[in-house]
Amino acid sequence: MQNITGFYLYAVVLVEGRFVMDNFFSLIKSPKTINSERDVRMMAPLVLAYIGDAIFEIYVRNHIIATSNTSVNIMHKRATKYVKAKSQAIIVHALENQLEEDEWQVVKKGRNQKTATSPKNAELIDYKYATGFEALLGYLFYLGKHDRLIEILEKSVVIIEKELSIKGN
């Protein structure tokens, strides 16, 4: 780690096929303290999905940057294949049997939320499951279960890469 004008640079490295985002989640933790697990459980599922969306996006972008040497335009096109609602619905269905009961409850709460927007390029059911998936990521983040969060993110990338290879994308 190197301190440059008050900021610490943390390495993002590939170690034995695993992306290590050293202390990344603790660095971006909100200055507002979430005091307890109860506080997290009381958060609105759409709030959890809001932060979960950002977490998934940055994880996917980091993955693509670490595994590609191409233009930003091509990287963006690749990233959209991972983060679109259909892909996230595929992920959550593939992970369903691997989730703890409380994790699946968060997915269901996120899925069942009414949203003010309607999906432009997705089926409504996929959009709902994507919201549930993003809520799960936010839930794990705010609980401080970073190892579990990373585990789910890693599995998510594998699931979508397998799906893309099957479809020839």
Count of H-run helices and E-run strands, the chain: 8, 4
Q: Tell me the average pLDDT across 103-107.
A: 97
Torsion angles phi and psi, residue 13, rounded to 5:
-130, 160
22 is catalytic: no
User: pTM value?
Assistant: 0.82
**Candidates 22, 39, 53, 102; catalytic one:** 53
Report pLDDT for 167.
60
pLDDT of residue 16: 45
Q: Give the amino acid at 98.
A: Q
C-beta of residue 10 within 8 angstroms of C-beta of residue 22: yes
The predicted pLDDT at position 103 comes to: 97
**Phi/psi zone of residue 115: left (φ > 0), alpha (ψ -120 to 50 degrees), beta?**
beta
**pLDDT of the residue at 117:** 74
Report pLDDT for 80. Answer: 93
